Amino acid sequence: MRRRNRAYAGPMSMKPARFDYDEPARSLVIEWDDQVVHRIRFDTLRRACPCAACHGELGSSGRFMVRPDLDPGEDDLADISLVGAYGLNVVWNDGHNTGIYTFERLRELGELASAQPSTRPLG
């Protein structure tokens, strides 16, 4: 019998080599295995939470569709942990921990973040 172990290989197989926090800048730093470094602001990350409560699902609106503003603590990163070989589970200070960000999504967010000037004031 042959086993297939390559489910996650392919064009989207880039993986983070290292995670770090930049507390003064309130950003998550991701160093990818192709040497690219991305900084994703906590509030950007929180708003991009992919879980059903934040993002909405069939028949119900997501949290940020109803109320776009962040409450205190909602964008304070408490902990991150790897989920298998494909993603990152983020725990926020308000206790929210149901969002699993795939590496693909994190890469996307990182690229968006680095395409924007960091000096832009909060709108």
CA angle (98 as vertex; 95, 99 as ends), nearest 5: 110
How many whole angstroms separate alpha carbon 100 and alpha carbon 89?
Answer: 5
Q: Establish if 54 lies at the interface with Zn ion (CB under 5 A).
A: yes
Binder among 28, 30, 40, 49 for Zn ion (CB under 5 A):
49
| Contact indicator for 29, 38 with CB cutoff of 8 Å | yes
Binder among 87, 99, 107, 109 for Zn ion (CB under 5 A):
99
Q: Which is nearer to Zn ion, 51 or 91 (CB)?
A: 51
Q: How far is CA 68 from the centre of its chain?
A: 18
Q: Which is nearer to Zn ion, 98 or 118 (CB)?
A: 98
Q: Establish if 88 lies at the interface with Zn ion (CB under 5 A).
A: no
The count of residues interacting with Zn ion (CB under 5 A) is: 4
* DSSP run (H or E) holding 53: helix 52-55
Binder among 51, 70, 80, 91 for Zn ion (CB under 5 A):
51
- Work out the number of other CB atoms within 10 angstroms of the CB of residue 43: 15
Closest distance of CB 89 from Zn ion, Å: 11
Contact residues for Zn ion (CB under 5 A)?
49, 51, 54, 99
